[in-house]
Amino acid sequence: MRILYGVVGEGMGHATRSRVLLEELSKEHEVHIVVSGRAKDYLAKRFQNVHGIWGFTIAYEGNSVKKWQTVLQNVTGAVKGWPQNIRQYFELVEEFKPDVVVSDFESFSYLFARNHRLPVISVDNMQLINRCKHDPAMLAGFEDDFETTRALVKSKLPGAFHYLVTTFFYPPLRKERTTLLPSILRPEIIDAKSEQGEHLLVYQTSTTNAALPEILKQSGLPCRIYGMRRDITEDLHDGNLVYRPFSEKGFIDDLRTARAVIAGGGYTLMSEAVYLRKPVLSLPVQGQFEQVLNALYLEKLGYGMYAPELTLERLRDFLQRVPRCQEALHGYVQDGNKLMIEALREQIARAAEYKGRWWEEFEQAEATKG
């Protein structure tokens, strides 16, 4: 079977989890990949038939999203980017005729599918925002952000044949054609043996919180810090703090042996920490409600704590909670990627049977609702 697989390039989480599924699909099918941003280089090293396209980007300043800068840089990028995407489109039309499209929150592959009347299988964590019910009490104070984000997510891949949604929390469904499944994990995480250490693993790319190092020093615990000193090529020691250059192997080793994790609200690292049963103090990027929602559910389950910013009081509160979080995490169970791979294979087989009929049936159903 021929599969077109789209991967959004904003952030590397989409690429690392897509790599897992692409490795499985490539064993059985002919797969072409469309991807933007840094994710292209990551996937091109591992797979053939990787097509680079222009994609949406987000502008940051410190630990918050700059909304107007994001709009401006994407308008500018679209002037050059869309012609490139159209060129890629015609190349695919001539050279590759897919039977099914899989999209990890990526629009080009979705539009390709819609224009060619092909079924789309959505694989991501974002659709949970729109396709599940969320407790109003938990969203109190975030109602406007939630509705804005839900509208954006809803508009991203409407009418997909099926939505496979990765998650470590399971709110009730409110939409059909939706399956909640455990997080997609890199083989390196599945193979990692979780051990109890004393250090805190800190992953922060923001440099605006000048008080962060001093707060961490006052914890009295060894802290292994990634992301804050991207200029270093070897460990830099500062009292109980160790700034480390990024190394996938070193990072995973520090994660599996950590006492706890301090990081943003990104889904990938959070889900890996949950799998390895490491409590997380989550500091979401301001302006990204998806990260806030991840953190709120993390806290609701007792797996960690949400904090809009790091203070010494919040850090001390979190460290006191760590034993209770470890106990809660002890009940988390996941059999690697088995359920996700089985579900994806099943939906691909079902979608291939529909092929040209799917959009007609969907549009008829929508017209009936209207």
The residues, any chain, with a CB within 8 Å of residue 68's CB and separated by 6 or more, are: none
The residues, any chain, with a CB within 8 Å of residue 136's CB and separated by 6 or more, are: none
Q: In the chain, where are the structural domains located?
A: 2-185+336-369, 188-329
**Hey, what are 268's tokens?**
């990938």
Positions of the chain with pLDDT lower than 50, given as ranges: 55-82
The pLDDT of residue 94 is 57
Q: Which residues pair with 296 in a beta bridge?
A: none
* Assigned superfamily of 2-185+336-369: Glycogen Phosphorylase B; (3.40.50.2000)
- Other Cβ atoms closer than 10 A to 346: 13
- Closest to 258 measured CA to CA, from 245, 268, 272, 246: 272
- Angle of CA points 185, 191, 193, to nearest 5°: 115
Q: Are strands 280-282 and 260-263 parallel, antiparallel or unpaired?
A: parallel
What are residue 111's phi and psi, to 5 degrees?
-65, -40
The pLDDT of residue 292 is 96
Radius of gyration of the chain (CA): 21
Rounded distance, CA 226 to CA 205, Å? Answer: 8
Whether 2-185+336-369 shares its CATH topology with 188-329 is answered yes
The pLDDT of residue 89 is 52
Helix (H) or strand (E) holding 228: none
**Hey, what are 2's tokens?**
């021929």
The pLDDT of residue 362 is 87
Rounded distance, CA 321 to CA 302, Å? Answer: 9
From residue 335, alpha-carbon distances to 43, 95, 182, 248, 257 in Å are 25, 38, 9, 23, 20
| Amino acid of residue 258 | A
**Hey, what are 147's tokens?**
């509705």
At the topology level, CATH places domain 188-329 in Rossmann fold (3.40.50)
- Closest to 22 measured CA to CA, from 352, 350, 341: 341
Rounded distance, CA 240 to CA 215, Å? Answer: 11
Q: What is the pLDDT of residues 193-221, one digit of tens each?
A: 999 999 999 999 765 567 899 999 999 99
Rounded distance, CA 99 to CA 146, Å? Answer: 35
DSSP state of 286: B
Q: Which residue has the tokens 């952030």?
A: 11
